[in-house]
Amino acid sequence: MKAFPLPGFFARWMLASAILCFAAQATCAARTIRVDRGGAVPSVAAALRLAAPGDDIVIAAGRYEEGGLDVLCRVTIRGEGNPMVTARGRGGVFIVRANGVSIRDLAVGETGRSDIEDRAAIKLVGVRDCIIERVTVRDAFFGLYLSKSARCTIRDCVITRRATNESSSGNGIHSWSGDSLLIENNRIEGHRDGIYLEFTKHTFVIGNTSIGNVRYGLHFMFSDDNTYERNVFTRNGSGVAVMYTHRVHMRGNVFSRNWGGAAYGLLLKEITDSEIEDNLFEGNTTGLYAEGGARILVRDNVFRGNGWAVRLMANCTDNTFTRNAFLRNTFDVSTNSTSSSSAFRENHWEAYRGYDLDRDGIGDVPYRPVRVFSYIVAKNPPAIVLLNSFIVGLLDVTERVLPTITPIALSDARPLMQPPRGRRP
């Protein structure tokens, strides 16, 4: 069998296998088809031609140089001894076009890059109830690509590539126009965006690790009602950026070491009615950046060792920051406005110098987290060259005693003396 049939032939066997699938559905019970390089069925393509809905395709260990494999009926494709299916740089590997397909325990990849098509190791097109589990994706342009797919699960996959710039790679896990997906315990490294969701709703993204991606660890737009829990986003080129979305829930994630001129732990743009809870922001240039956010509840997070812990632009309204801990950040809160409609209450500020006479754990003097210098810098960026200088220290002290420039409204009237004990593990 030629690895890449000509288009005409390709179309014919697609049609034939579709008919076969349909016919088989009516007649046979589920079978197991074994793919083995020396056996009766030597290629995955041959197995897929033979397959009827409900069949198992078991791929024996070895390297299968095949690509453009259309999965057109409901089968389970499973590897034994970790076989590798590779397109040898000439295109996508699996394209799933049937509902209920599961792919497990194998390695796929080496799609090569393309500027014309979205090559993916596994592409799901307009399907439901598919499962991709324990799949290793090596050096694919897009790792797992879901298009108009719903109720699918991606679990325990490892997706790696060594992208050097944004155009040399696609995204690790990419979903366009999806619904009710579960993306769980995957590891994505070295792609453009680790996880990219667009128009993808009611989705759970849980326990994933997204490291060293060229652009964002996690990136979503117009993806309402999603939940992100216990993920780790670290050392990504620009951190995590999420935009134009309502009702986002982010809990227990780690945003760390996203360091660089345009890097953010978490960048929120036009996010509304959302909750950000129990997360750790550590060692980022900017921990949390919010632009145009409204009604966001930021609760029980830890901001530690960031350049800017929180940067809140003037167009953010009605956000609440409570029970967060701000530790060892160069700037705790920065804003470019003298008024603020966001509320800070009962946070712990390491830089707080107040006292607690009645010993109820809450400081008796309000804390103003915006240093006058951070305000000056927000207004006049080159002034940052005065960082660490004597005059800036003096200005901060005077302003703390008698605030005249910094937004008085932006203050925490009930600062916690001790960091709150969060529900974080």
Considering only residues 308 through 337, tell me which ones interact with another protein, judged by CB under 8 A: 308, 330
CB of 350 to another protein, least distance (A): 12
Least distance in Å: CB of 330 to another protein? Answer: 6
Q: Return the residues of window 269-288 that contact another protein according to CB under 8 A.
A: 285
Specify the stretch interacting with another protein by CB under 8 A; choose among 21-29, 42-50, 342-350, 387-395.
Answer: 387-395
The size of the interface with another protein (CB under 8 A), counted in residues, is: 24
* Least gap, CB of 234 to another protein (angstroms): 16
CB nearer another protein, residue 357 or residue 385: 385
Q: Which is nearer to another protein, 1 or 387 (CB)?
A: 387
Min dist CB 399 to another protein, Å, is 13
Q: Is 392 in the site for another protein (CB under 8 A)?
A: yes
Site for another protein in 393-422 (CB under 8 A): 393-394
210 vs 306, which CB is nearer to another protein?
306
Nearer to another protein, 232 or 376 (CB): 376
SS3 assignment for the chain? CCCCCCHHHHHHHHHHHHHHHHHHHHHCCCCEEEECCCCCCCCHHHHHHHCCCCCEEEECCCEEECCCEEECCCCEEEECCCCEEECCCCCCCEEECCCCCEEECCEEECCCCCCCCCCEEEEEECCECCEEECCEEECCCEEEEEECCECCEEECCEEECCCCCHHHCCCCEEEECCECCEEECCEEECCCCCEEEECCECCEEECCEEECCCCCCEEEECCCCCEEECCEEECCCCEEEEEEEECCEEECCEEECCCCCCCEEEEEEEEEEEEEECCEEECCCEEEEEECCEEEEEECCEEECCCEEEEECCCCEEEEEECCEEECCCEEEEECCCCCEEEEECCEECCCCCCCCCCCCECCCCECCECHHHHHHHHCHHHHHHCCCHHHHHHHHHHHHCCCCCCCCCCECCCECCCCCCCCC
Judged by beta carbon, residue 43 or residue 285, the one nearer another protein is: 285
Check residue 365 for interaction with another protein (CB under 8 A): no
User: Using CA atoms, how far apart are residues 409 and 246, in angstroms rounded to an integer?
Assistant: 27
8, 39, 381, 425: residue in contact with another protein (rule CB under 8 A):
381
**Shortest Cβ distance from residue 393 to another protein (Å)?**
8
Q: Which of 375, 361, 373 is nearest to 410 (CA)?
A: 375
Closer Cβ to another protein, 81 or 260, answer by number: 260
Residues 248-267 that bind another protein (CB under 8 A): 259-261, 263
Q: Which is nearer to another protein, 294 or 377 (CB)?
A: 377
**Residue 391 touching another protein (CB under 8 A):** yes
Q: What is the smallest separation between the CB atom of 384 and another protein, expressed in angstroms?
A: 4
Selected from 25, 164, 167, 389, the binder of another protein by CB under 8 A is: 389
Q: How far is the CB of 376 from another protein (least distance, A)?
A: 7
Which residues make up the interface to another protein (CB under 8 A)? 259-261, 263, 285, 307-308, 330, 376, 380-394
